[in-house]
Amino acid sequence: MPRAVYVLALGIFAMVTSEFVVAGLMPQMADGLNATTPQIGYLITAFAVAMAAGGPFLTVALMKLPPRTALMALFVIFLAGNVLAATATGYATMMTARIITGIASQAFFGVGISMCAQITRPEVRGRAIAVAMNGLMLGTLLGLPISTLVGERFGWRAAFWTITTITVIATVATWFGVPRIERVEGGGGFRHEVGVFKKPKLWLVLSTSTLIIGATFSAFSYFNPILTDLAGFSTGTVPLLLIVYGAATVVGNNIVGRFADRHTVPVLAVGLVINTVFLTGFALLADLPAPAVVCMTGIGLVGVTMNPAMATRVQRTGNAGPLVNTVHSSFITLGIILGSSIGAVVLDAWGLRAPLWLGAIMALLGLATVLPDLARRSIPASGLASPRCAEQIDRV
């Protein structure tokens, strides 16, 4: 595995830690910015919306730059937004900072994953994406608790300065550790990049990613009240359980990465089936502590960990260009928004188990979008009369 893949993981870790930092410091930031807790919550929503809506446009703006140069430009923009957040004296300034960092982080995901595809051999691209995506998993496992701890001990501004320091380190490492490449595979100018979106199948593949992540976040967003109010755990125990969940995502991500290249569609199908089982089990057994923890851990193993297989499928359907990967990241972010927001609606209407049932339904819908590809892989041997036909099936 090229060293550059691990460097890209460090950059993703910095971006994800910045994304999550507000969630861990809501009371302190509310006091410091003279805002209400719901207003601080809107900063999280603004970051996600900025990622989904603004990331692709920034990617287009940087499309003519060599990939490493584009990454450096994104680091500069992200750093500017993060410093603005650390020095913000009012709510409006903080909102602006979150929008800037959200847009930059989404574009970084797209360009970074494209770089993984370019600097690794085709047969290990899924594994390379898994290594890079460890930055996402470790951001959940380590970035959030570390930034929360720093913010609680030294003030919320210190948490943003810590993220700024990590970002500077990632910037220097990227400059020296990522090779200079003139053009990413699949890139051919704006018209070529946009033209790939004329494929109806690409939109179906993108919707799969939205449903996979939406199913996971409809549950993850409400783990805290579910574990305390239904399973009966104390508030002090929940952070430890979330660490277990985060560790499960790291394990699952690396397992999926091992199989994502050669068994892309089966991995997605199996993952969705297993996630449906765990989400359903959680909904049925949430009031029993041990089964609740097992189901929560299972969701960690087969939820967001589908990222390497999802990215591999998108690249094979479209291309490995930065715009396709950024739009894919936007569809993933859309899943987060839909899962958490619809989850809030059903929770208010039907109680704490409702988001878990919503997740199970979304996972089943995601499985339905994978079944056509799975069926094409299962064409009877009589349909493989010609080598040309067999070759086409292998590509699927």
Low-confidence ranges of the chain (pLDDT < 70): 182-189, 378-396
Q: What is the pLDDT of residue 70?
A: 94
Residue type, 152: E
Q: What is the pLDDT of residue 386?
A: 45
Q: What is the pLDDT of residue 378?
A: 65
Q: What is the pLDDT of residue 387?
A: 42
Q: How far apart are CA 82 and CA 88, in angstroms?
A: 10
Q: What is the pLDDT of residue 290?
A: 96
Q: What is the pLDDT of residue 187?
A: 52
Q: How far apart are CA 139 and CA 135, in angstroms?
A: 6
Q: How far apart are CA 209 and CA 214, in angstroms?
A: 8
Q: What is the pLDDT of residue 334?
A: 93
Question: Which domains does the chain possess?
Answer: 1-185 (1.20.1250.20), 199-396 (1.20.1250.20)
Q: What is the pLDDT of residue 184?
A: 52
